[in-house]
Amino acid sequence: METQKALDVVLMAAERSLTRAEGLPRRPWFVHQVYAPGFYTGYGVKTLPAVREALEQREWTQAEEQARSVAGVLEGFAAQIDRATAIVSTR
């Protein structure tokens, strides 16, 4: 039971690690960095929206900045998955 609780905590943190408090460019209320409704397309989901939309708008500097930011988010997510794997591996 303790293992399950520890795993639940890590997995919740993993999902939260995919967000940034400052949100997306032009949409600070969307904090998830992996998916969000498109800024230009309405409710259609865009993956890696900050990077993708900057590329689509040919805003190369912003695309590079957002790619670095999203890479950090994904590295944080990977670290959480490593923690979850360690918990499961000790069973």
CATH number at residue 43: 1.20.930.40
**Count: domains in the chain:** 1
In the DSSP assignment, the letter for residue 35 is: E
pLDDT digits (tens, 9 = 90+) for 11-58: 999 999 999 999 999 999 999 999 999 887 777 889 999 999 999 999
For residue 27, give the DSSP letter: B
Maximum C-alpha span of the chain: 51
- Domain holding 24, by residue range, is 2-89
The count of residues in the chain is: 91
Distance separating alpha carbons of residues 36 and 24, to the nearest angstrom: 9
Q: Which residues contact 49 (CB under 8 A, 6 or more apart)?
A: 24, 30, 33, 35, 36, 38, 39
pTM, 2 dp: 0.87
